Structure 1
């Protein structure tokens, strides 16, 4: 279901079908990036382990499947005062879409 501001809600599905968190975004990838930032970050992008993220679009039977990974990186030189010196970056790669039979 699309909200008035154009964003859609995506529920993060566990392997047992539990939906623990909800992420919003204009696209499924935007929500997957938000979910990937919550993963345990590695020291670098090359050392990061990929984790499968399954996001069900609320109001539909579509499950968007992504591989996601996160890593620590130094903050940019022109960072604002409130930003820490080390930040978490994330990336995702779409694997496909499944439809639920429920």
Structure 2
């Protein structure tokens, strides 16, 4: 279901079928990037050793968007505000497909 501001809600589906967290975005990829930032990050972009499968069900539909995601940490930029931590978590995702749930 699309909200007035154009954003949609996506629920993270665990391996056992339990729905745990809700991420929002105009596109499924935005929600997947937010979910990927919660993964255990690699020390740097060059040291990424594995990808996690992220399954995001769009609320109000039977669509499950499947992504491979990974995360890493890097130093904050020179233009970052003082209050920000010295290291930030970055993420990336790759879409694997869409499944439709059967009722």
Provide TM-score, normalisation by structure 1: 0.97
- Unaligned ranges ≥5, structure 1: none
Query: Which residue in 1 is equivalent to 2:32?
Result: 32
3-state DSSP class of the match of 2:74? strand
CA distance in 1, matches of 2:46, 2:63: 31
Query: Which residue in 1 is equivalent to 2:102?
Result: 101
CA distance in 1, matches of 2:45, 2:17: 29
Q: What per-residue deviation string (whole Å, max 9, x for no partner) do you get for residues 32-77 of structure 1?
A: 0000000000111232220000000000000000000000101001
Of 37-46 and 51-60, more deviation after overlay is shown by 37-46
CA distance in 2, matches of 1:47, 1:55: 26
3-state DSSP class of the match of 1:11? strand
CA distance in 1, matches of 2:82, 2:43: 23
Whether 1:69 aligns to 2:78 is no
